[in-house]
Amino acid sequence: MDTRKLIASLCYFSIFFAGFLVPVVVYFVTNDSWVREHAKKALLSHLLPFLSLIFFLIIWIATISVSSTIFLGVVSLILYFIVMIWNVIKGIQVLLER
């Protein structure tokens, strides 16, 4: 197996064990532009749920209602699962590239 593919896919799969850390380290350590590109994409996809959670918390503080709290919690959870599934798909695609 190609080491480049393994490292690039590990950046996507790291959402399960070391979200921000692995893509950042790979981005700054590697000289391979292809791997750096995937590390950057993985980092951005790992940041999306975190940034949306901050955005939803700001909205929640502004509205302070139970229905908005439940809605924002559900939306955050759905977004996280979508991003998690997307990262798994991208990690597999990178492994299967020629």
Whether 40 contacts 9, CB under 8 Å: no
- Percent residues over pLDDT 90 in the chain: 42
Dist CA 45 CA 84 (whole Å): 9
Residue 27: pLDDT band with limits 50, 70, 90: very high
Measured over the CA atoms of residue 5, residue 83, residue 44 and residue 19, the dihedral's sign is: negative
Dist CA 41 CA 55 (whole Å): 21
Dist CA 32 CA 69 (whole Å): 44
Residue-wise pLDDT tens digits, 36-65: 999 999 999 888 878 877 877 777 777 766
Q: Can you give the pTM of this predicted structure?
A: 0.80
Whether 10 contacts 35, CB under 8 Å: no
Residue-wise pLDDT tens digits, 2-22: 889 999 999 999 988 887 889
Find tokens 């896919």 and name the residue: 9
